[in-house]
Structure 1
Amino acid sequence: MLKAVIFDDEYIVTQGLQMMVDWSRYGIELVGTADDGISALQMVRELAPDIVMTDIRMPGLTGLQLIEEIAKEKPNTACIVFSGFNEFEYIRKALKLGVIDYLDKPITLEKIDEAIVRTIERIGHQQEHTQLKTQVSANKEALLEKATLDLLLLGTEAIPGWRAAFGKAEAERVTGVTVFASTGRLNLLDEHPSYRIVSFSYGKEWIMAVFHYTLHAEELWEQLTIMSPQMQETVGSGQTYTDLAEAGASLKEAVRALRYAVFLEEKGWTRFEPAEESLPKGLSEREEEIVFCMRTGNKDGLLRQLDDYKRWMEAERLSPELVEQEVMKLAYIGYQVAMEAGGEARTLVPHWELGGMSSRDEMFEWLREQMEQLHNFMREDKHASKHNAVEKALAFIEKHYLESFTLQEVAEHVGMNATYLSLLFKEKVGTSYIKYVTKLRMEQAKIMLLRGMLVNDVSKKVGYYNYRHFTELFKKYTGVTPGQFREGHGISKSHEPVQEVGDHE
């Protein structure tokens, strides 16, 4: 049912219309009346009526001033004005403001009836138009999401369809694309003139493709750095590619970064680091699963994936030559994963043995044996000499944790692949590399704050050159901002030059 209000400083008008018109016959509920412009505007704001009937002349605010405010705040409201004799100039101004009808006084039931019928028809047309626009917009958005998914999965052949859905003029402005993957729906970025976001669900993940209009996207990375400590979801991002045909690579990298972050029980944003990868590019999903199981020490998962790999190869009915080639490739990948540990395998993969095998089953049995041996080697090595690598990493962190450094730099120092080191670190230390370094820095920051150092100086001293990022991390770690922590211990912050994020004392 539509809602209507009547505003007039003549009591006979408001009461007469209220009592004499059968509003329900029109599907209208009369929800209020007022006799001055100020009360009328307040009523509009509180009740949000669909129809406003108002006199042009009223105390407080005139009808024209009221309509002007309504047009600003609630532009879809249908306004009807009552006018007296010789008020044509007021009527002309009212029409310019968008009123849909006007009634000369004295007001009769016949005039009211005609005006209400015209207004209801007008509202109906507006609603249909709004619904149509909403449907068109939703359809466009759905088409864009589908076209973007096609771009990520199909590459070059999907570019024309994506351009059409994105808008050809807008597509010409795109200079690069970065893909994010999350465990839940992503609402982590604000809209910005330097990029456009397309988000959608894909399998178990929520995908967000960021199309850049300018590179490098400092605003994007700064937003993510600041928001990461507050995120309740785990988010992985791929590299930025300037060629749209390579957008799918960013998707794979984002999903890979997400998967390892989930395994490490990390919340917030994890960025894919290309230097971590020494394996061949373009691995299939089956090969990726096998790599993941080897890195995470999941032997049962590894054997299941190998069985799935065998069934897939059998279904493809490959020739013996191609089977040998694929088996050899997978064995080589397993060897490379084992080498990520930073040592050297006891023996190379005996690939020459494959040449003397005539059956597919023999080749798969050989593959299974090699992968089990490599997996066992990694497990034995992990429980022996590779713990020295973690000890070496801990010593490096202890010495340099007040500086700005990356996991990749730590991995290079100990001579180990960064992905493997992060997994080994979690197993040996009981917490992830990021959490360990953050704890060291936050504890040192607390000491510095209690010594009276300025928050901005403390931020830099403990390796964070983004002041807001440090403040958010400190608040997440301690439950209070740096300023609140210091004041809670009786240390004055009167000389602090910068207002802290979240500090409202």
Structure 2
Amino acid sequence: MRLLIVDDGFYIVEYLKHLLDWTKYGVDHIETTTNSIEAKAILDQGQTDILITDIRMPEVSGLDLLEHVNKHMLRTKVIILSGYSQFDYAQSAIRLGALDYLLKPVDKEDMEKAMQSVVKHIGETPPDKEELDGPGYLLSVISEQQSPVHSVSHADPSLNTLSFCFFQVPDGGGQAEITLRDNSEGLEDFIWQTPSGLAGLVLTSRMGSLQDKMEHIHFSQSFELGKKNTVRHHFYSFFHHEDMDASDFARWKDWNLPSKFDATQWELVRRNMLKKFAQLTVRKHKLLYLLEFVHFLYRESNFLQSAEVADLLFYQLSEPDAALKSILLSISEWNKNADCANHQIVHTIQTYIADHISEGLSLEDLGKIAHLHPVYLSKLYKQETGENLSAYISMKRLEKASQLLIDSSLHVVDISRLVGYKKNQYFIKLFKDQYGVTPYQYRRQHIK
């Protein structure tokens, strides 16, 4: 199943993405976005089984997305999240068909209960036979890793016994892609346009017709998708000119791939991957290792999209060393964007604090500025800076007070209010804790 997580706060999206082991609920593909307009476009593709969305977002709200699902009769099941506890929002969400309504910060146990309800409802709904995660299914067949949630039988049980073959059209595009899709007999999810050309699977029965219409198309020997060993033998032989045997495939058990992806531990994963890859001297073993890693990344994260996976599988893996660099670059770019987003949030909050030092500056107020729930904002700030947000606010207030004590002749009680403290005695206590002297003593020490 495919899960879409939507929230205008990047940190919230990442928190939710790693909150559960989603595979336990049959989720084999997770897509995330902080752009609610983009979310509507993703829903329009008709492949999203579960939507978890914030109720309040700029431009398109969670209720808008829920209404969109209803209006277009999409099969998507919806869980609504909100940092606001107003009952009218819950009423609207439930009335529009949301299966659950959870308050932020989302508790793991509450989300587990919500997902159990969603899975039950999906189980009572007839499966959509047109749905097929092409990359996920192919990876589950040619990879050693078990991925039972990718099952072609969910789309059509007869596909397991049909005769297929791999195809490749180097530098193909345009009319070639149209011809292939017209001859796919509804299996367009097995056809990929990549930067290096067209590749994928087609029914063996269409080989003759396609050869007549396309001069540069190449085909593998035929196979049945249900016969795993035969499929992956032809895959490695046709695309990468390697003859694999059982002993080659057995090696992956010694590679210690992580069982679950954790973005915060990516640097450790990267180092371990480079170390293991450096120990491999045989090309086909490098191919196998990278394919297993691609499968892991596709299953556990959104680093690699469908087109990237296809280009790696059908073309780039032929040069394992270059493919490794490409994979690492994709993940590094993702991490860089995530870091930039977090740094920008911290910068925005610190700038706001500097400009509004005399105001209350509650976590709730700052959360609205950053479009994050206060709890998430507090965690993000601590993660990025190593200090508590409340401690930073106190420090900036006292710094401003110390400056005013030297640069102005304002009374201490007035300075206390200017830096956000309504109770003068509390301000004096905090100031002495910070500087070791009272505000009066500080002024005398610095003004001669």
User: TM-score, normalized by length of structure 1?
Assistant: 0.27
Q: Which has the larger radius of gyration?
A: 1
Using CA pairs below 8 Å that are at least 6 residues apart, which structure has the higher relative contact order? 2
